[in-house]
Chains A and B, each alone.
Chain A
Amino acid sequence: MPFEEKMTWVNLVVTIVVPVWYFITMAGRLDATSAADAAWQKPMLIAFGITIGLTILGAIAVSIVSAASAQVTGRPTDSIDRKDERDKSIGRRGDVVGFWVASAGAIGVLVLTMLESAYFWIASALYLTFVLASLASCIVKLVIYRRGF
């Protein structure tokens, strides 16, 4: 499995796990208070931080496992994080799909803003848009890696 495909798996897992934590946390808070009064800023910043941290840790873990695998199989270690034109092409196709999902989500965020919804709903909708865009991008990339194009 190419390094970029492994990293896409890391991104997919992080993109699922962290937002699930955020939305479960906020759902618990909304039971006790209204959306207008809910303190969403800290959990969202923590979610961003954890996303960055887990992605870095995932990249380190993938690099270590790939290097160990290269040692065992006798492959050159400089090949473990190789990124070629196919990886870039797959990345572009995934990013295009992610862009369209993000664009559609942005329209939803605009509607919420026009309706003067609570900041919590606007911010959460924007976060959900990022999440869905990333999910769509990751899934498209992984499907292309498996099936070709």
Chain B
Amino acid sequence: MGKPTRVTNRIRALRFAAGEMTQAELADRLGVTRQTVIAIEQGRYSPSLEMAFQIARVFGVALDEVFSYPEEA
């Protein structure tokens, strides 16, 4: 696996909270491939700011409830 991004996300938890939405359903809502959703969930791909907002909008939450970035040590 490549170097993971430091951005973490709660997409998996949010999907299950949203009636166990599948990765394919989320991909269709976003207009992206299922593999992109998988890559984002696993931290292998950092989405653009626009897609990040779209993901947050799908779940009806604020951006920082989906994505977080660790504080500097």
Interface residues of A (CB under 8 A from B): 1-3, 5, 75-76, 79, 82, 84-87, 144-145, 147-149
Contact = CB atoms under 8 A, between A and B. Distances in A.
Nearest to B24: A75
B18 interface: no
Interface string B43-73: 0110110010000000000000000000000
Contacts, number: 49
A82 B29 CA distance: 13
Contacts of B28: 76, 79
B42 interface: yes
B8 interface: no
B31 interface: yes
A147 B2 contact: yes
A122 B69 CA distance: 53
Given A2-B35, A85-B36, A85-B51, 8 more contacts: A5-B35, A84-B30, A84-B32, A84-B33, A86-B32, A87-B33, A148-B42, A148-B44
B44 A149 contact: yes
B14 interface: no
B39 interface: yes
Interface in B1-41: 1-4, 24, 27-28, 30-33, 35-36, 39
A47 to B, nearest CB: 32
B31 A148 contact: no
Contacts of A5: 35
Nearest to B35: A2
Contact of B2 (A2, A75, A149): A149
A85 B47 contact: yes
A86 B35 CA distance: 9
Contacts of A85: 32, 36, 47-48, 51
Given A147-B1, A148-B2, A148-B39, A86 B31 contact: no
A2 B33 contact: yes
A79 B33 CA distance: 8
